[in-house]
Amino acid sequence: MRKLSVFLSLSLLVLLFVALVVLNNQLLGKYRADLTENAVYSLSDGSKAVLGELDEPVTLYFFYSDTASKGMTSLRNYANRVLSLLEEYEQASNGKVRLKVIDPEPFSEAEDQASQFGLTGASIGSIGEAVYFGLAGTNTLDDQFTINFFDPQKEQFLEYDISKLIYQLSDPEPVKLTLISSLPVTGGQNPMTGQYSQAMVFYEQLSQLYDVELLNPEAESLPQDTDVIMLAHATSLSEPLSFAIDQFVMNQGRLLAFVDPHFESDQMAMMGAMQANPSDMSLLEKWGISLDEGGVLLDEQLGLEIRSQDGGIVRHPGILGLTAENLDRADVTTANLEMINGASFGALILDKSSALKQEALMQTSDNAMLIDAQEYALNREPSSLFMGQPDARDRFTLAARFTGELASAYTQAPADSEGTFKASTAGANIVVVADADMLVDQFWVQQSSFFGQTLYTPFANNGDFITNATENLAGSDALISVRSRGTFARPFTRVQAIEMKAEAKFREQEERLQSQLEQTEAQLAQLQSQQAQGGALVMTDEQQTAIDEFVEQRVAIRKALRDVRYQLERDIDALGNWLKLLNVAAAPVALVFLLFLIFWIGKRRAPAAVKEASS
């Protein structure tokens, strides 16, 4: 009877276990607890908002060469993180996102499907086979967007890239960009040479990507359906246009402004009519955003070398080359850029009474200072620009993102205006760059001729930044809020420390061996230069002894190198054995002991009648 009772109890436990597994998979699958340090497997609020704005279902095709990537541990680990994040999107979309995982094996229909989406495999397999690791998305209107390859180096922007793809599928209409500028962006006659110049490269680049409409600063209204406004050194905004821009921003419109305390690339200014050539800052100043003292920044540390009037090479502290150290590595617009060139930058400041939040995108070094814009404009010799005393130098903000609450620059609408006046907004999104010279071709592209065609080769990332900022602002407020999340790889620091220690010893002995090899080669070269007798090399006993001794020494050192490598692997294997012991033996033993302890405590507290029945 007792054996039957034990059998029934075990059977019930098995049935209960199976029932709990089924219940968990069917009903509790969408409930997860992300206990990782950086919330690797959780979506940000911005991504959830993008999913909430979906009006129609979208299908995501995750192409990953699982078979071809065997043995590529790092890539496979990253692929698992990508897949887990994609599953989070599917789960949080309430059925609006359908995920399909495809392994495009060579010469299969799946590989043909990947090619139809424009994905290409990277030849990084063990024998050079193509490895696919990308994402394609479609909607009910047959629009499609792709991420060609998930680069592990851009892991911190993984969520942003996926959310942007989903947003593009939900809103496939082209971005309408209104460009307001006093610059000759479409080309024209050069007053210095009399020749006609082509359109500025940044304008052609934007025209290929977006629906761009160019406005003169004296215009009186904005085009309908404008998504993003770009101010590019607008020198005198008309009052009606200024009010239209203000109300556009109040209605959560996005603005990208390139303003300058002195636009020195102006052709008339270069001909000698040197006066400070500032952008119109009146609207921004009413919002609390201004240029510090209206001055120009000098930074000897970032200054670029130019050719002086006497033909020499000098460093110009007003023409700056910003490197990765001067760019915000956490913002999607500047994170992967390496160099941005510009001239006569201003310093952005935000009024203390403003409710806006300022995030610096570009900064000077710690050795910058301001100089009066008029004084800078009249100066022709970079070497005569006085940098002042070291204690007067500081770090300044050259470009910034302003978000949050913003009051209108106007108290009421003009009498002849149309539409409803809005006095404030809680969702302002403004990017301001305190330089417009960076838009000019000479600061970031090199022109060359190829069989009668003009080719432009970028040598700086100015165009990348302009495109990144426009694209980022063109997204929804939710998409703009998605920021980089850091890198999620968790290396074995203990193993790395062991490897570094052993490899340091390995390199030290390797260098010693290399030095001895060079000495021996010199000795052999000297021997080979001697005359041969009967086709054979004549060597003295001393020379032969020296070579024999070196051979023996080389064998001994190579043995020592093998011992160091063995020691490295032995230490790592020992660490691995301890980890296996803890996981395979120690953890189960601790669990059994804990269960026994709970059972023993429960038995001690049980009533006497229960104890007798159990015995």
One DSSP character per residue, 177-214 reads: EEEEESS-TT-EE-TTT-PEEPPPHHHHHHHHHSEEEE
- Quick one: how far is CA 156 from the chain centroid? 7
For residue 31, pLDDT over 60 is answered with no
Given this model, what pLDDT does residue 308 score?
Answer: 73
Pull the structure tokens for residue 193.
């040479």
Given this model, what pLDDT does residue 533 score?
Answer: 44
Q: Which of 94-108, 448-462, 468-482, 584-598 has the lowest mean pLDDT?
A: 584-598
For residue 92, pLDDT over 70 is answered with yes
3-state secondary structure (DSSP) of residue 298: strand
Given this model, what pLDDT does residue 535 score?
Answer: 45
Whole-angstrom Cα distance, residue 533 to residue 178? 88
Beta-bridge partner residues of 327: 362
3-state secondary structure (DSSP) of residue 433: strand
CB 326 within 8 Å of CB 364: yes
Q: Which helix (H) or strand (E) holds 401?
A: strand 397-407
Return the closest-CA partner of residue 398 out of 427, 424, 437. Answer: 437
Beta-bridge partner residues of 228: 177, 254
Catalogue the long-range contacts made by 235-241 (C-beta closer than 8 Å, 24 or more residues apart).
235/182, 235/277, 235/278, 235/279, 235/280, 236/182, 236/280, 237/180, 237/280, 237/282, 237/283, 239/414, 240/414, 240/416, 240/417, 241/180, 241/215, 241/217
Name the pLDDT band for 416 (thresholds 50, 70, 90): confident
Kindly report the backbone phi and psi dihedral angles of residue 155, in degrees, each rounded to the nearest multiple of 5, phi listed first.
-60, -30
Whole-angstrom Cα distance, residue 574 to residue 570? 6
Classify residue 380 as exposed, middle or buried by CB count within 10 Å of its CB (0-12, 13-18, 19+): exposed
- Quick one: how far is CA 248 from the chain centroid? 29
> Which amino acid does the sequence have at 84?
S
> Which amino acid does the sequence have at 331?
D
Predicted TM-score (pTM) of this structure: 0.68
Whole-angstrom Cα distance, residue 371 to residue 368? 10
Model pLDDT for residues 515-568, shown as the tens digit of each residue: 765 676 566 556 555 544 444 445 566 666 666 666 666 666 666 656 655 665
Pull the structure tokens for residue 424.
């404030």
Given this model, what pLDDT does residue 198 score?
Answer: 86
Model pLDDT for residues 240-281, shown as the tens digit of each residue: 999 999 999 999 889 999 999 999 988 665 555 568 899 999
Whole-angstrom Cα distance, residue 224 to residue 235? 23
- Quick one: how far is CA 390 from the chain centroid? 34
Whole-angstrom Cα distance, residue 615 to residue 611? 6
Tokens 């700056």 belong to residue: 320
Pull the structure tokens for residue 317.
């502290």
Q: How many CB atoms lie within 10 A of CB 379?
A: 16
